[in-house]
Amino acid sequence: MSVPLFEVVPNLSEGRDLGTIEEAVRAMRACGASVLHSTSDATHHRSVITAAGNAVQVLNASIALAGVALERIDLRAHSGVHPRMGALDVLPFVPLAGATMEQAVAVAHEAGERIWSAYRIPSFYYGEAALRPGRRLLADVRPSPEGDPDAGSLPSHETAGAIAIGARGVLVAFNVELETQDIQLGKRIARSIRERSGGLRTLRALAFPLKDGGVQISLNVTDERATPLYRVVEIVRSLAADCGVSVRQSELIGCIPRAAVVSAALYALGVEDPTV
């Protein structure tokens, strides 16, 4: 029988010191996890690492990563446009081949307990790992978690803050940049398309100003089959065009399911999906 595999996609509140990111990647690889991708953004002051392995590998890699974040990131001196509540800010576990969501939840809970035991950094569980109904959505957990943490007895570590640890399905992180300095337009577009405001199913969206004067629509698609990426881009393009603004470029953060790439390519080519 094959060993169940998991993906872990930690978000670190560090996007400028590449030495810290390199140390984080080394720590995860030293635990046997395969680091598939890493990306950093100075404006957001944030990095996203995508890694995979069996339960022991991703668990140990996450604990080691928390240690690196504690040692090298001090939230008291942190500034960036992206919301954050921890040095190791978000830690989601995703079941892949041969793994179940229940197993991913178990790994998430163990990660929270072991990180607290090792470093006294508290954790709040979200997604399928949530222990309280009001904490299922990541947006309900950060940026300022309320109440007692799910792992630990203090709401926040002095320098490392707290961690949002979750279990979820595959998520596509995707940004669309607008050729405008009008952040209010960006916020209106984000608000109109995200699920929470009555927009597209499985879509989370925020707007951020960019240093070069543009505006970024930051998107998380939790089910690309329900909400194809090409549909999101076309809607953003249309809403921006109504205000005389063009789309400058799009950006993928981390990994993406092959099916999402195929569907976007077929749409762009005007080709009907041959598998249907």
Please list the active-site residues. Answer: 82
Concatenating the DSSP letter of every residue in 55-119 gives HHHHHHHHHHHHHHHHHH--GGG---SS--SBSEEEEEEEE-TT--HHHHHHHHHHHHHHHHHHH
Burial 131-142 (b: 16+ CB within 10 A, else e): eeeebbebebbb
Report cis status (omega within 30 of 0) of the bond before 257.
no
Q: Which residue has the tokens 């974040």?
A: 69
CA separation for the pair 148, 126 (Å, rounded): 14
